[in-house]
Amino acid sequence: MSDFLLKVQRFSEHWLTARKRRKLAKKEKQSKKNPVLDWIEAFLWAACVVLLINQYLFQAYQIPSGSMMNTLLIKDRIFVNKIIFGPELLPGIGKLPGFDKPERAEVIIFENPAYLSKGPVFDVVQRILYMLTLSLVDIDKDQYGNPRAHFLIKRAIGMPGDRLRFDDGELEIQPQGFSNFIHESEFKKLGGYTYNTRRLIQKSDYRIIKASAVKDAYDMAKIPLPTNIAQIAEQGDGGMDAYAKMMYRSRTLYSIYPYDRKYGSDYQRLSIGWYIPSEYLFPLGDNRDDSKDARYFGPVRQKKVLGKAMFKYWPLQRMGVIR
C-alpha cells in the first residue's frame, strides 16, 4: 500500500473515531440532562420561533367588535400578512420596508389613532404575550374587562386623491379624475369591487336623528324647542348615527350663530367630507352603523398599516380566505 493510501486510511480512522467520541459524549451529556430543563429549552425555542413568525411574517389576531360584520364576526381568529407592507422592527418600534402598498377594498390592520398607551414596557409585554398565545391572552383590558382597541381592522376604501362624504350614512366618492361624487354602490360596479356593506339604520330613522340634533342645539343655545320637533326627537334613539347627528347639530348651531366661526367650520368640515392626501388612506368598517372608523379620526398614514388580513382559522366552520 502506498504512503498516500496509508495517510488516507489513518485520517479516516482518526476522523471516524473522533466522530464516534463526540456522539458518545453528546449522548452521555443528554442522559445526564435534567428532563425539566430539556422541556424548558424546547419551549423557549418554540416560543422564539412563534415570536419571529408573528412579528415578521404572519400574526394571529382576534376580532374584538362587530364593525366588520358580516365579513368578520366577533371572536373570529385570523392571520394577518405582516411582511407585505413591512413589519415592525420590534413590537411598537420602527418599521421595515415592505413589498407593496395597501390597495382599495383590502381588509387591513393598523394602529388605532385614538389608542392611549400604558407605556412602552407594557405595550411590548402585552404584544409578546398576545403573539405567543396566538391571540388567546390579551392583558390590555379596560375597566370593564374588555380588550382595548390598540389595533383596528377595517377596509381600505378611500385612497390618495379621493374625496369622500356621507349623506344620511350613505358613502359618496369622487375618485381622482372624476368631476362628480358617485354613490358607493355605483363606484363598486365601476371598479369591480365585490365587498358587502351592512346598514342597521333605516332611511326613515334619519328623521329622528335630525330632530334629536336640533334639540341638542336648541338646548345648548337655551332656545325653546318647537313642539313638533320635540315629539319626533322622542320617538327613538337620536344617536344611532353619531357622525350624522354631529353634522346636523353643527348645521343648526351655525344657523343660530352665523357669526361664530367655530360652528361654521365644524359644519363645513362635517358636510364637505374629506380629501385623501398622498400616502394616506381612509379605512371604514363594513358594518357602517356600528364602526368607529376614519369618519371619527380622519385619514390614516399608510406607514401605520401593519398588515393585510388574509385567512380566518377559527371557528372551523368559518375558515377561509378574507375578501
Q: What is the dihedral of CA 292, 122, 72, 46, to 10 degrees?
A: 170
Cell of 265: 367650520
Q: Cis (ω within 30 of 0) for the bond into 64?
A: no
Which whole-number Å values give the CA distances from 155 to 11, 69, 200, 305, in the listed order?
A: 66, 11, 18, 11
CB 150 within 8 A of CB 120: no
Determine whether 239 is exposed, middle or buried from the number of CB atoms within 10 Å of its CB (0-12, 13-18, 19+): middle
Q: Where are the domains of the chain?
A: 51-157+280-321, 203-269
C-alpha span between 5 and 79 (Å, rounded):
60
Closest CA to 176 of 189, 187, 163: 163
Any idea what DSSP says for residue 147? B
C-alpha span between 251 and 150 (Å, rounded):
33
Q: How many CB atoms within 10 Å of residue 168?
A: 15
The reported pLDDT for the residue numbered 173 is 96
Strand 151-158 relative to strand 280-284, pairing = antiparallel
The reported pLDDT for the residue numbered 271 is 84
Q: Nearest-5° angle of CA 70, CA 158, CA 207?
A: 65
Q: Nearest-5° angle of CA 77, CA 83, CA 86?
A: 120
C-alpha span between 84 and 76 (Å, rounded):
22
Domain covering 51-157+280-321 assigned CATH 2.10.109.10 in the classification? yes
Helices (H), 57-168: 120-132
- Give 305's strand partners: 110
pLDDT tens string, the chain, 323 residues long: the values are 566 556 656 666 666 576 666 766 666 565 555 677 777 777 778 777 777 777 788 888 889 889 999 999 999 999 999 999 988 887 777 788 888 999 999 999 998 888 887 877 888 788 788 877 777 888 888 878 788 888 899 999 999 999 999 999 999 999 988 999 999 999 999 999 999 999 999 999 999 999 999 999 999 999 999 999 999 999 988 889 999 999 999 999 999 999 988 888 888 888 888 999 999 999 999 999 999 999 999 999 998 899 999 999 999 999 999 99
Determine whether 167 is exposed, middle or buried from the number of CB atoms within 10 Å of its CB (0-12, 13-18, 19+): middle
C-alpha span between 108 and 286 (Å, rounded):
12
